[in-house]
Amino acid sequence: MQLKKNKILKWLKSFDKIDIIGIVFFFLILFSSALFLLRRSEYVYITIRVTKEDSLHNQWWVQPSNWYLKNLTDGLEDKDLMGKVNARLENMYFYPRNESVQDIFIVLKLEATYNKRSNQYSYKGLPLLMGSYQKIELGGNSIRGMVQDLSLDPPVRKMKSFRVKVELEAENNRSAFTNANIEYRGIDNFLADPIKVGLVSYDSEKEEIVKVIDVKKSPSYKIFISPLTNKLVSAYDPDRQKVEMEMIVKQAEVFDGTYLYREDLVIALGEVIPLYFDSLTLNATVTGIEEL
């Protein structure tokens, strides 16, 4: 064993400094070539969803405010020291709500590094994974959210129309001033009166998301225990109306063959979905759905 060790030492001593430097340089080139073959840079497109859990302030249940949206415009860029663009805001859209905060979807073009061995893309050393949380600095803005889509080509929103029937129930559209001992079977007149055929809800790109095509209104009644007979009775309620609607709803494809309302909600029988029109917010119970 000692003899073999001595032979190795003698062999190493036979190299001069130039030889050693050359060998080290050779292995460095070999290592760099291996990294180059395993990793390459290319542009990818990611869609980041900034919503409740992925907020501007990174606090639970805080969503980006409307003023934040004004700072984000198509074409915002981030460049490296050589002036090369490594991040660009390609598109941004959202589904408006009658609130001061919104859920927004931001499409970014990033110069990402692809690792052939792990079959993953990364940006500035952090992996780009579906469902991963990302923080990207862009044009003096901090974009924090969850990756919803990643592709080599610009994403195209695929929309499909559905005929949806709903009814508006009191418990989902209740006024703050109600009597707990009374069961109401309609919604307040101030909510029912503005509902009419032709009401439309748009997304930020002026795409029709909801369009009311039929409205049926009927007298409402309330149920309560009569103080005289101590029995349940029903009586006409002049302050409320029963409302049923039929709508054309466009849903976006979030992955192969799966469509969601506002890219977040499932429309299914019995589900309650929010409807946002100009100065009117409703919560509707789904009673029928048909793909068009």
pLDDT tens for residues 109-145?
988 888 877 788 888 878 888 888 888 888 777 788 8
Looking at 151, 177, 204, the residue that finishes a domain is 151
Looking at 121, 151, 181, the residue that finishes a domain is 151
Structural domain includes residue 34: no
Alpha-carbon torsion (258, 264, 269, 274), positive or negative: negative
Residue 58's pLDDT is 46
Structural domain includes residue 26: no
Task: Please work out, in degrees rounded to the nearest 5, the angle formed at the alpha carbon of residue 210 by the alpha carbons of 285 and 207.
Answer: 155
Structural domain includes residue 73: yes
* 59 & 177 share domain: no
What type of residue is 96? Answer: P
Residue 61's pLDDT is 39
Residue 248: exposure state from Cβ atoms within 10 A (0-12, 13-18, ≥19): middle
Alpha carbon dihedral 61, 65, 66, 68, in 10-degree steps, equals -130
Structural domain includes residue 256: yes
Domain that holds residue 248: 159-291
Structural domain includes residue 97: yes
Q: How many domains does the chain have?
A: 2
3-class DSSP assignment, residue 35 = helix
Looking at 122, 151, 180, the residue that finishes a domain is 151
Is the confidence at residue 283, as pLDDT, over 80?
yes
Structural domain includes residue 19: no
Structural domain includes residue 29: no
Q: How many CB atoms lie within 10 A of CB 6?
A: 10
Q: How far apart are the first and last CA of the chain?
A: 82
pLDDT one-digit tens code per residue, 137-184: 887 777 888 888 888 888 888 999 999 999 999 888 876 556 667 888
Task: Please work out, in degrees rounded to the nearest 5, the angle formed at the alpha carbon of residue 142 by the alpha carbons of 137 and 145.
Answer: 105
3-class DSSP assignment, residue 121 = strand
* Chain centroid, CA 136 distance in Å: 16
For 139-153, 196-210, 236-250, 259-273, which range has the lowest pLDDT when averaged over its residues?
139-153
Distance CA 131, CA 46 (A): 11
pLDDT one-digit tens code per residue, 17-40: 665 565 556 556 655 554 444 456
Structural domain includes residue 281: yes
Task: Please work out, in degrees rounded to the nearest 5, the angle formed at the alpha carbon of residue 134 by the alpha carbons of 129 and 135.
Answer: 160
* 244 & 287 share domain: yes
Distance CA 148, CA 150 (A): 7
Residue 233's pLDDT is 75
Q: What average pLDDT does range 215-236 have in this prediction?
A: 84
* 48 & 121 share domain: yes
What pTM did the predictor assign? 0.73
